[in-house]
Amino acid sequence: MNNNALHTVEAQIREQAAAYCESNNVPGFVAGVYHAGEQIIVAHGTANVATGAPMLDNTGFLFGSVTKVLTTTLVLQQVERALLDLDMPVVKYLPEFALIAPGAADKILVRHLISHTNGIDADLSFPDAKGRDALKTYVEGLASRCGTLFEPGEQLSYSNGGMIVAGRLLEVVTGMPFPDLLERDIYAPVGMRDSSTSAEQAILRSTAVGHFNDHETMAAKPTGMFTLPDTWGPAGGTPIGTIADLLAFGRTHLAGGVSPAGARVLSTASTALMQQVSYDMASPNVPPIGLGWVLYPFGDTTVLAMSGASPGGVSILCVVPEHDLVFTAFGNTSGAIMLQDQILQRLLSEHIGVQIPALITELEQDVDITPYVGTYRSDQLRIDVSIVDGQLEERMTYEPADESQERIFTEFAGGVTSAPPQRYVPIRPGLFSPAGYPLEAFDGYLRLLLVSYHDVRDGQARFRNGGGRLTRRA
């Protein structure tokens, strides 16, 4: 892609963002593309409807779970410095790490934390603690409140808990609070000059806030909660930065661990290790996972990706090593994920010539759906699955552990904690699509909307996977 081609991309993204935001009540959007030595950033709309502040090229936003790739990079730095070993049990470094079942935590290796194969059942656990002991408080609370979904290494389930434990592990082996370590060992060498680790720092510069659509007027209203508690820092609760900063971080992973500023952030071997498949569930809705990165196959091309939800906002970071491309974006309502998916697919197909095959080409007939009926549970979440009119119907119920959890989760979700029942049509045994969606909707990032069931024994599935997260048959 030459310089002119990237200017064409810039104009297209500007037009696409304006049209999408207008028709979908997204107040503001900002995106960036780096390709083969050239870089563009496009900003559109409003960063905060309460103040009318515009979304600018250098407006900051919450990284959300994109932070997980930064946290994983920090872990591998400590492996290189021989302070951590990926194949050692976590308890070797963190003796206080325990879960409800005695001995369950002892089997979890450092590797399991950053490959989402640890089985810690803590995905909606939001302990409210602030300051330098926040992660210590989080880990101490696991023993009394969180169990396991599966044996370590046995399955894959997107794990906020694993990343937070990894953050605490980093604090113990380096002797530094996680936010300070992130600033010293990622922000500084990568050249992420406008990134911060707290709302107190972010308020000093242009920063976007998330929004939720009012259910009566459908107008976007600013979130009542800017960040998640400090306990969620390493999983994506608090780090904030700009498009230029995330492009620099993505380029560091394109360049074998060397930042655009020329600093060695990670070894070539560690950078490559993060991009290798560490677990593959062999199901179209759950892309293979590396360390930190999710490895999205688009035909023969792999896109290293991570998206990040924050209260009323969504970010994405995609790195395409085979084509020297980085794409990153933020929109300040959750619906912006669709726009991010559209831009990514357009970049792949139109600008670098990647053939994107159909993920699902046809629906099998006469699939027996009875093995999937039942109740599935994970941390504070219950999913009741029944058969209605020959389709699966799922009812999701949030079951808060206490008032504090309920308050935080409700604010994070914009006040809506229950969804209407969702019908699913079988694609083939164990794989379902939400009713009413065209099959091509799942060719890109939104393949995460498909639902799969796994490990059928005695005519019953043991696990349900939605959005990369497992729930277990109760």
Q: Are residues 219 and 343 in the same domain?
A: yes
Residue 378, domain CATH: 2.40.128
Task: Decide which of 285, 316, 348 is a domain's last residue.
Answer: 348
Structure tokens at 17: 């963002």
Same domain, residue pair 456 and 313: no
| C-alpha dihedral, 436 to 441 to 443 to 447, nearest 10° | -60
Q: Domain ends where: 318, 348, 378?
A: 348
Residues 344 and 375 in one domain: no
Has residue 387 been placed in a domain?
A: yes
> Are 181 and 263 members of one domain?
yes
**pLDDT (tens digit, 9 = 90+) per residue, 155-168?**
999 999 999 999 99
pLDDT for res 415 = 84
- Domain range spanning residue 192? 1-348
> pLDDT tens digits, residue range 343-373?
999 999 999 999 999 999 999 999 999 999 9
Give yes or no: residues 16 and 150 share one domain: yes
Q: Specify whether 378 is located in the same domain as 281.
A: no
Give the pLDDT confidence score for residue 3 in this predicted structure: 59
355 occurs within a structural domain: no
Question: Please, which contacts does 75-79 make with residues 24 or more away whose CB atoms are closer than 8 Å?
Answer: 75/110, 75/113, 75/114, 75/166, 75/169, 75/170, 75/291, 76/266, 76/270, 76/273, 76/274, 76/291, 77/185, 77/265, 77/266, 77/270, 78/170, 78/173, 78/174, 79/110, 79/270
The contacts found for 222-225 with CB under 8 angstroms, 24 or more apart, are 222/48, 222/49, 222/50, 222/312, 223/311, 223/312, 223/313, 223/411, 223/414, 224/411, 225/311, 225/408, 225/411, 225/412
Question: In terms of domains, do 397 and 464 share one?
Answer: yes
Residues β-bridged to residue 463:
454, 472
**Residue 354 maps to a domain:** no
Evaluate whether 472 touches 455 at the Cβ level (below 8 Å): no
The answer as to whether 358 is a domain residue is: no
How much is the pTM? 0.97
**Burial of 316 (C-beta count, 10 Å sphere; 0-12/13-18/19+):** buried
Dump pLDDT digits (tens) for 231-265: 999 999 999 999 999 999 999 999 999 999 999 99
Q: pLDDT tens digits for 175-223?
A: 999 999 999 999 999 999 999 999 999 999 999 999 999 878 888 999 9
Confidence of residue 2 (pLDDT cuts 50, 70, 90): low
Give strand pairing partners of 319. 304, 326
Residue at 364 is within a domain:
no
Q: What is the mean predicted confidence (pLDDT) over 271-290?
A: 97
Task: Read off the CATH number of the domain in which 229 is found.
Answer: 3.40.710.10
Question: What is the pLDDT at residue 385?
Answer: 98
What is the structure's pLDDT at 247? 98
Quick one: tokens of 37? 């030595």
For residues 314 and 433, membership in a common domain is answered with no
Same domain flag for 374 and 343: no
Does residue 390 lie in a domain region?
A: yes
Sign of the dihedral through C-alpha 14, 18, 19, 25: positive
Cα distances (angstroms) measured from residue 32 to each of 56, 154, 285, 405: 12, 37, 26, 35
Among 348, 381, 410, which residue terminates a domain? 348
Domain total in the chain: 2
Instruction: Inform me whether the pLDDT recorded for 467 exceeds 60.
Output: yes
224/261 same-domain check: yes
Tell whether 353 is covered by a domain: no
- The reply to whether 314 and 386 lie within a common domain is no
Residue 455 sits at φ, ψ, to 5 deg, of 60, 65
On whether residue 357 sits in a domain, the answer given is no
The full 3-state SS of 335-366, as one line of letters, equals: CHHHHHHHHHHHHHHHHCCCCCCCCCCCCCCC
Provide the mean pLDDT of the chain.
95
Tell me the pLDDT band of 419, cut-offs 50, 70 and 90.
confident
Higher pLDDT, 3 or 369: 369
Same domain, 273 and 422: no
